[in-house]
Amino acid sequence: MIQSYLISELSKWISATAIIKSDVEISYLVTDSRSVSNPGNSMFVALRGSNHNGHDYIPTLYQQGLRCFLVDEDYKTDATLTEANYLVVQDTLSCFQQLAARKRDYSTCPVIGITGSNGKTIVKEWVAQLIGTTKNLARSPKSYNSQIGVPLSVWQLTKETEIAVFEAGISQKGEMQKLAQVIKPTIGLVTNIGAAHQENFSSRKEKLFEKLQLFKNSEVIIYSRDVPFVKEGIREIYPEKKTYTWGSDKSADVRVLKKEISGSVYKVSLQKEGSDIELEFPFTDEVSFENGMHAVSTMFYLGYTVSYISEAVKKLVPVAMRMELKEGINNCILVNDSYNSDISSLALSLDFLIQQSRKGNVVRTLILSDIYQSGIKGDKLCKRINDLLKEKGIDRFVGVGEVLAQHAGVFEMDSAFYASTKEFLDSVTHNSFKNEAILIKGSRNFEFEKVTAFLEKKHHQTRLEINLNALVDNLNYYRSKLNEKTRVLAMVKAFSYGSGSFEIANVLQHQKVDYLGVAFADEGVELRKAGISLPIIVMNPESKSFPSMIQHQLEPEIYSFKVLSEFVDELKKEGLSKYPVHIKLDTGMYRLGFVESQMESLKEVLGQTPEIRVKSAFSHLVGSDGADFDEFTNLQISRFDKQTSDLESALGYSFIKHILNSAGILRFPDAQFDMARVGIGMYGIGAVEQQNLKCVTSFKSYISQIKEVKAHETIGYGRRGELAYDADIAVVPVGYADGLNRRLSNGVGKMMVNGQLAPIVGNICMDMCMVDVTGLRAKEGDEVQVFGTDISVDELAQELGTIPYEIFTSISRRVKRIYYYE
Ligand SMILES: *Cc1c(COP(=O)(O)O)cnc(C)c1O
C-alpha cells in the first residue's frame, strides 16, 4: 500500500506556512508537471531551475485536478484557484528533500546507498535482480540519483519495504551531504571514481571525499580492494568504519583467485572465509565483471547463501538504459523500452509514449510481459497496472505471460492475453495494429525484441541515432547563457539539421521553447499535421504556399516589399487582420531582408497595413563564430539596434527583436535583445565551448560481409583500391546515396569498428562501401560508426573542406532515424 499523509501533517514536517482549504491525503510528490497520474492525492513541488520555473505550471495542474502545492515565498498565490492548498516555504527543493528524509526515518529496513562515477545504475539494478523476489524491494527508478531524483526515489518507501537500493550522483561540492540526509544508507557501496575530476572539483581526491560523505552513518562500506585510491580515501575519512571488500588482494573479504573467459561466460574463482566459490557471470567484459562483483559482494554481505547467489548470478541480464522511438507498420509509432520492468518505470515510459504520440495515433496500446516486481502478489500487481493504465488513458492492452493471463479479468480496457511471446506472434498479423502509439515493454526473458522486429517498419539497417537527452542538455546549455527573459527560437529547418522533424519539434515543444523556425512552408505544415502547436516562423515563404501557411497558422518571414504585398493580398482575401509576421532586416549578409535604404518606406508601408502585425524583427549575423569578424558583427548589431528602435517608434508598438544564432549566444551575450535563435549548437556542434556540448547524432551501419582478399587485388569500381598486403575487407551497406560523401573514398575516410579505426578502401559506391579490417577485431554483423560519439563530425567536416551543417543535412531521408532517451 502506498502510504498517505494529510497535507496538514506534511506541513508540520517542514514548518511551512500552510494555506489549507481542505485537508487532503497525500500519497505522491510530483516535480514534473507533465507526469501526474493521481492528481487527487498528489502534491506538486514547484522547483525553480535556471531556465524553468515550476510555479508556472500551477494553473494547468489545478485544471487537471491537483489541489496541493509546495511553493516558495516569491510565488503570488492565485486567487482564482479557489480550492488550492499551499505549503509556503523559503526553499522548495530543500523542503522536498526534508519530506523524503522524514519518510526515510519511518523506515527501518536496510538501505543500500550506491555512489561512484560509473556503474551506479547497473550495480543497483543487478543487486535488485539478485535479490529477486526474496524481499519486497524499493529502488531508484532508472538513474534517478540527483538532488530531485533521490527524494523521488526515497519517497517510494513504504511499511512493507524490506530492503531498498538507492543511487546518489553529484556534480558539485556540498551536494552529497544533502543526499546523505535523504538516503541515510545503512550499507554503503562505492563503484569506482573516474580518473578525471569534473570542473567543479579541484582534484580527484576532493571528488572522492565528497562522494564518501554519503556513508557518514553507514554501518559498512563495500568497495573494491584493488583500487588503492578508494581504499586510502576511506581509511583517511573513516578510519574506524567497518568495510567489506572484494579484490585480488589477500586481505579482501571476497578474494578473487582466478577469472577466465570461457565461451560466453566469465568463470570466477573466489575465496570467502576460507571456502572456495565458483561463479559464472553471463558476460565477458571487464566492466561488467567489476559491476557484477560489486553486486555479488553486497549479496554476500547481506547473508545470502553461496548456492543462492551462484544460481542467481547466472541469470543476470544486461541493463539496457534507453528507450527507443521507432517508426512502426501501418502508421504506428513504437516506443521500445528495454529498461527493467517495474511499475515506476512503466509509468515513466507511458508518459514518454503519450508525449511522443502524433495526431494520427488514435489508439494508445501497451504490450507488456509479466513483470517480476519483487514482493507484490499477482492480483495486487495487476490491479495496480490496471489503475495506472486507466490514469494514463491507455486504450488497448496486450498481456504476455502467465501471471497477466491469469488475472485477465482485472483489466478494464480492450485487452488480449497470451501465455508466451511465441503464442502472441503466432496469433497476430500486421493488420492487428493500425494508427496506434504502442509501448513495448517486456522482461528480458520474454525476448520482446522479436515483438519490436515484427511491428517495426522495415528499412535498411544503416541508421542515424539521435540522443534526445543530449539534445535537451545542449538546448539547456544555451539557455543557461541567456537572461531569464530572453526567449528561445529553436531552428528545425532542413529536417532539423537532418535529424528529423516531428520528433525533434515535439521534444522542443515539451521543453517549452518559444518559437520554432523552418525553412519552407511544407516543413511547417508537416509539423502542424503531427500536432505541433508552437508558433512557427517560415524563413523562406513562397507565394504559392501562402494559403496553406494561413490555414496552418504559420508565420512568414517578410523580407521584401513584394512578399509583403503578396501576403497581404492573401490576407485580404481571407478577411484577416493583425496576422503575425516577422520582418527580416539585412544588416550585412546581403541575402534576404530589407536594406538600410528601404527603411523609410518600410515604416510607411507597415504603418498602413492593418492586415499584419509585426510580431518580431530580426537579422542574421554573417560571422558570429569568428573573432576575425567581431568588428563587423558589432557593426551589424548596432545597425540592427538602430533600425529596430526606429521601426518600433514609427509603428507605435513594440515587437520581439532577435539577431543571435548559436555561436552569437556564446560570443555576443549583450546582443540578446528579446530572443535568440539556436540551431547547430542544439545538435551538438559549437564554434566555441564545444566541450560543453553533447553528441546528439550518430550515423551507424554494420558489416554485412567480410572477405579475405589477396595482395595486389583491387577493391571496387575503377580498381582504385589496390591492396599492398593480404587483407580482410568488410562490406558496409552505406554509400553516397545515404549521404556518405564520395570524397571519403580511398582512405580519406575511416569508420569505427569495435573501437578501432578502419579505413575506407576503394571508391565509395552508391549503396555500399568497403573498409579494411585487416588485423582488427571485426566480424560480420558488427556495428560500424560513420560519425558520432567516436568520430567527430567537426573533424570529418574539416577533412572534406566543408562544415558540419552540410554533413548533417546530407544524410539521405532513406536512412532510418532512431530516437532514444537514456
Ligand atoms: C539557420 C539559422 C539560424 C541558426 O544558426 P546556427 O548557426 O545553426 O545556430 C539562425 N537564424 C537564421 C535566420 C537561420 O537561418
- Of 448-462, 523-537, 568-582, least confident by mean pLDDT is 448-462
Q: Which residues lie below 8 Å from residue 377, measured CB to CB, with a gap of 6+?
A: none
- Take residue 180 and report the three cell numbers written for it: 546523505
Q: Look at strands 265-272 and 254-262 and give their pairing.
A: antiparallel
The CA distance from 324 to 334, in Å, is: 8
Owner of C-alpha cell 551501419 = 701
Smallest CA-to-CA distance from 293 within 80, 103, 127 is with 127
- pLDDT confidence of residue 394: 95
Q: Is the CB of 621 under 6 A from ligand 1?
A: no
CA atoms within 13 Å, Cβ hemisphere of 618: 23
Enumerate the known binding-site residues. Answer: 591, 766
- Take residue 556 and report the three cell numbers written for it: 512568414
CA atoms within 13 Å, Cβ hemisphere of 74: 9
Phi, psi of 528, deg, nearest 5: -60, -45
Instruction: Tell whether the model's pLDDT for residue 490 goes beyond 90.
Output: yes
Residue nearest to atom 4 of ligand 1 (CA): 679
3-state secondary structure of 516: strand
List the beta bridge partners of residue 74. Answer: none
- Take residue 22 and report the three cell numbers written for it: 481542505
The CA distance from 108 to 94, in Å, is: 23
Q: What is the mean pLDDT of residues 756-762?
A: 95
The CA distance from 111 to 102, in Å, is: 14
Closest ligand 1 atom number to CA of residue 493? 1
Instruction: Tell whether the model's pLDDT for residue 196 goes beyond 70.
Output: no
pLDDT digits (tens, 9 = 90+) for 668-691: 999 999 999 999 999 999 877 677
Catalytic choice (106, 308, 717, 725): 717
Q: What is the mean pLDDT of residues 259-271?
A: 89
- pLDDT confidence of residue 117: 86
Q: How confident is the model at residue 381 (pLDDT cuts 50, 70, 90)?
A: confident
Q: Is the CB of 677 under 6 A from ligand 1?
A: yes
Domains and CATH numbers, the chain: 5-92 (3.40.1390.10), 107-313 (3.40.1190.10), 324-456 (3.90.190.20), 463-692 (3.20.20.10), 697-820 (2.40.37.10)
Number of H helices, E strands in the chain: 26, 43
d(CA 566, ligand 1 centre) in Å: 25
Owner of C-alpha cell 491469469 = 406
- pLDDT confidence of residue 256: 96
pLDDT digits (tens, 9 = 90+) for 708-725: 999 999 999 998 888 999
Phi, psi of 386, deg, nearest 5: -60, -45
Q: Which of 589, 661, 667 to mutate to test the pocket of ligand 1 (most atoms within 8 A of CB)?
A: 661
pLDDT digits (tens, 9 = 90+) for 784-818: 999 999 999 998 999 899 999 999 999 999 898 98
Q: Is 106 a catalytic residue?
A: no
Q: How confident is the model at residue 460 (pLDDT cuts 50, 70, 90)?
A: low
**38 or 122: which carries more pLDDT confidence?**
122
Q: Look at strands 363-369 and 68-72 and give their pairing.
A: unpaired
3-state secondary structure of 595: coil
Computed over every residue of the chain, the mean pLDDT equals: 92
Q: What is the pTM of this model?
A: 0.71
Catalytic choice (124, 441, 493, 584): 493
Q: Is 717 a catalytic residue?
A: yes
- Measured from the Cβ of residue 273, the count of other Cβ atoms closer than 10 Å reads 9
Q: Is the CB of 637 under 6 A from ligand 1?
A: no
| 120-156 per-residue burial string, b: 16 or more CB within 10 A, e: under 16 | bbbbbbbbbbbbeeebbbbbbbbbbbbbbbbbbbbbb
d(CA 530, ligand 1 centre) in Å: 24
Instruction: Tell whether the model's pLDDT for residue 341 goes beyond 80.
Output: no
The CA distance from 239 to 242, in Å, is: 9
3-state secondary structure of 97: helix
- The residue type found at 773 is V
d(CA 322, ligand 1 centre) in Å: 30
* Residue 620 DSSP class: -
**559, 584 in Cβ contact below 8 A?**
yes
